[in-house]
Amino acid sequence: MDVKISLDTPVEELVERFPEAVGFLLRRSVRCIRCGEPLWCSLGELLKEDGIENPQILLNELNKHIKKTERVPRPQNS
Amino acid sequence: MNKLLEKLKIKDVNIGACAGEGEWYEDPQGTELVSYNPATGEPIAKIIQATEKTYEQVVSQAVEAFKSWRMMPAPKRGLVVRDLGQALREFKEPLGELVAVEMGKIKAEGIGEVQEMIDICDFAVGLSRQLYGLTMHSERPGHRMYEQWHPSGAIGVITAFNFPVAVWAWNAAIAAVCGDTVVWKPSSNTPLTAIAVQNVCNKVMADHGLKGVFNIVIGYGSIVGEKMINDKRLPLISFTGSTKMGQRVSEATASRFGRTILELGGNNAIIVAEDADLEMAVRTIIFGAVGTAGQRCTTTRRIIMHKSIASELTQRIVQAYKQVRIGNPLEEGILMGPLVTKSAVEDMMAALEKAKEQGGEIIYGGNRLTELGEQFVEPTIVKMPAQTEIVHHETFAPILYFLEYKDIEEAIRLHNEVPQGLSSAIFTTNLITAEKFLSHEGSDCGIANVNIGTSGAEIGGAFGGEKETGGGRESGSDAWKGYMRRQTNTVNWSGELPLAQGIKFGD
């Protein structure tokens, strides 16, 4: 499975397709969902707001993590 | 399932932009949103989401409809809302069931939510004859001064998944009698209940020859939501959701001098004093912490208990947690359903890890219940050595933190230490303690209760909170004023031209 999460990916899309990303990011103090609802911004904006110094490194780790969990993502709403 | 959807006129594929009967707007560019049953993980139906184009069509209709709706006398608008309440009575059972199916709360709570819609419609009917303004005695002779309340315009209402229909009704029924038209963006987690409500509205409004009063746009917040909060045609945005998103909504709306009603995060606590009726406290805590699987804004998230009763109270609550039946929210006897999404489960598990890292001890629960489905979890109790960083956050899940205190001053300090300020409660049989909690040195929340819990508010009171909860008020009392614009009027019938403050100008 070729996962393509980028810094431009909307958080709404990320949590819908790859829920496992939520826990992964929260363990790194990045909160994708609040009050059960995803934030209305891109992943890149969220990482910046939550003080991640090198977003690209975390993004790479996230993509690896998603790939490793080997779950079939829900189809992207299209 | 099909029969339920048929009753509510939900199709396999539904259009997510509507301004009344026969006014459904579809754009070929609109993306599909699938609504899933959180208990089974199965898809229920699809929605073609609103696009910028269909958003424009809906908002244009709402703005146009406002011109005539505002001129209808308020008591007549009340009669239209009365009919909406009647229609909701007819659909109470199926609509409540759909809430349970799509959102995951138990059916009794789903039906209760529709009852809340009916109640607020009834309240709004009465209110339609009570949109009172004050009169003031003018300091100038032969002058009359008073204030009146005018409709605001087409307003935006953005709601969350956890109360997918009631919060819309709190806003929409009141706004409608106030003369506003309403553009609703529901949560993308619960789009079908919104379509069902729109269908009910469409029929009622068509019977009165109206359209454009109740409108809907379903779509991503980053598309439709952003359009709404930046839209100068919407003078008011009522937003229910997280503190983080509330900040975004507030900044964007304020930058164009629009107004907001914000109902944001809560981190609600119950203080249990040494003299509390523990039997009553335990029953309340279970309802407040486990109900709606801990996904209410007013969910009880912290118990601040007196040291002298901590052991007994803990034992009783744990015992009660063991009795909570978890499962399909449509089944009789079930008290807790699934979390709304898989993401919510991940969020809960990560929060529990953090709580443990911060010295928390899980004394009940803490696990996924995968045998029931991917989105089921155990309601969880975590004993904390102190009110650490994770306790200051609102995790939208059934996690209940236990904290202990020595005296009431410490209890109130702990209580008020968190950044949120929605709902609060104390269990005590001591009048002095109760009054202290309700006093200005007591709870800093918008809602403060004695011997009842933090959740289960009635529609008659104003609902909302302070600090990071946003300061907005919805529903009852005089919350209606937030949906209108105040105008101060002075009429001079004296034949002279006296100035205020006795100023002489060119005399």
DSSP string, B392-421: HS--SSSEEEEEEESSHHHHHHHHHTSSEE
> Inter-chain contact B351–A39, Cβ cutoff 8 Å?
no
Chain segment B252-261, per-residue pLDDT in tens: 999 999 999 9
- Is any Cβ of chain B less than 8 angstroms from the Cβ of A50? no
**Residue B34 clears pLDDT 70, i.e. is over it:** yes
Q: Residues 6 or more apart from B251 whose CB is under 8 A from it? A: none
The chain B residue lying nearest A43, using CA atoms, is: B222
CB-CB: which of B222, B297, B347 is closest to A33?
B347
- Is any Cβ of chain B less than 8 angstroms from the Cβ of A12? yes
On whether the pTM is more than 0.90, the answer is yes
> Inter-chain contact B396–A78, Cβ cutoff 8 Å?
no
Question: Euclidean distance between the first and final Cα of chain A, in Å?
Answer: 19
Residue of B51, B347, B353, B357 to mutate when probing chain A, most A C-beta within 10 A: B347
ipTM beyond cut 0.90: no
The confidence score (pLDDT) of residue B328 equals: 97
- Is any Cβ of chain B less than 8 angstroms from the Cβ of A28? no
The confidence score (pLDDT) of residue A16 equals: 86
The average pLDDT across B413-438 equals 98
> Inter-chain contact A22–B226, Cβ cutoff 8 Å?
no
Task: Work out the pLDDT band at A36, boundaries 50, 70, 90.
Answer: confident
> Inter-chain contact B341–A31, Cβ cutoff 8 Å?
no
List helix spans (H) across B70-91. 74-90
Calculate what percentage of chain B has a pLDDT beyond 70: 100
**Residue A78 clears pLDDT 60, i.e. is over it:** no
> Inter-chain contact B243–A34, Cβ cutoff 8 Å?
yes
The confidence score (pLDDT) of residue A67 equals: 87
State how far the alpha carbon of B287 is from the alpha carbons of B320, B398, B414, B427, in Å: 11, 11, 22, 15
The confidence score (pLDDT) of residue B507 equals: 73
The confidence score (pLDDT) of residue B186 equals: 98
Tokens 């900040």 belong to: B247
Cα(B249)–Cα(B339) distance, rounded to whole angstroms? 26
- Is any Cβ of chain A less than 8 angstroms from the Cβ of B351? yes
Query: Please, are residues B165 and B111 in contact by the beta-carbon 8 Å criterion?
Result: no
The confidence score (pLDDT) of residue A74 equals: 64
Find chain A residues with C-beta within 8 A of B159's C-beta: none
The average pLDDT across B399-415 equals 98
Does B64 participate in catalysis according to the annotation? no
**Residue B119 clears pLDDT 80, i.e. is over it:** yes
- Is any Cβ of chain A less than 8 angstroms from the Cβ of B394? yes
Angle made by CA atoms B160, B387, B309, in degrees to the nearest 5: 105
- Is any Cβ of chain A less than 8 angstroms from the Cβ of B268? no
Q: Residues 6 or more apart from A54 whose CB is under 8 A from it? A: none
Task: Work out the pLDDT band at B287, boundaries 50, 70, 90.
Answer: very high
State how far the alpha carbon of B225 is from the alpha carbons of B68, B239, B386, B448, B491, in Å: 26, 10, 38, 32, 42
Task: Work out the pLDDT band at A68, boundaries 50, 70, 90.
Answer: confident
The average pLDDT across B152-177 equals 98
Which is the catalytic residue, given B201, B297, B394, B445?
B297
> Inter-chain contact B245–A33, Cβ cutoff 8 Å?
no
Calculate what percentage of chain B has a pLDDT beyond 90: 97
Residue of A12, A20, A40 to mutate when probing chain B, most B C-beta within 10 A: A40
Cα(B451)–Cα(B470) distance, rounded to whole angstroms? 26
Task: Work out the pLDDT band at B479, boundaries 50, 70, 90.
Answer: very high
**Residue B249 clears pLDDT 70, i.e. is over it:** yes
Chain segment B300-327, per-residue pLDDT in tens: 999 999 999 999 999 999 999 999 999 9
Average pLDDT, chain B: 97
Chain segment B121-135, per-residue pLDDT in tens: 999 999 999 999 999
CA distance B392 to chain A (A): 13
**Residue A76 clears pLDDT 80, i.e. is over it:** no
Task: Work out the pLDDT band at B506, boundaries 50, 70, 90.
Answer: confident
Does B297 participate in catalysis according to the annotation? yes
The average pLDDT across A1-20 equals 86
The confidence score (pLDDT) of residue B1 equals: 75
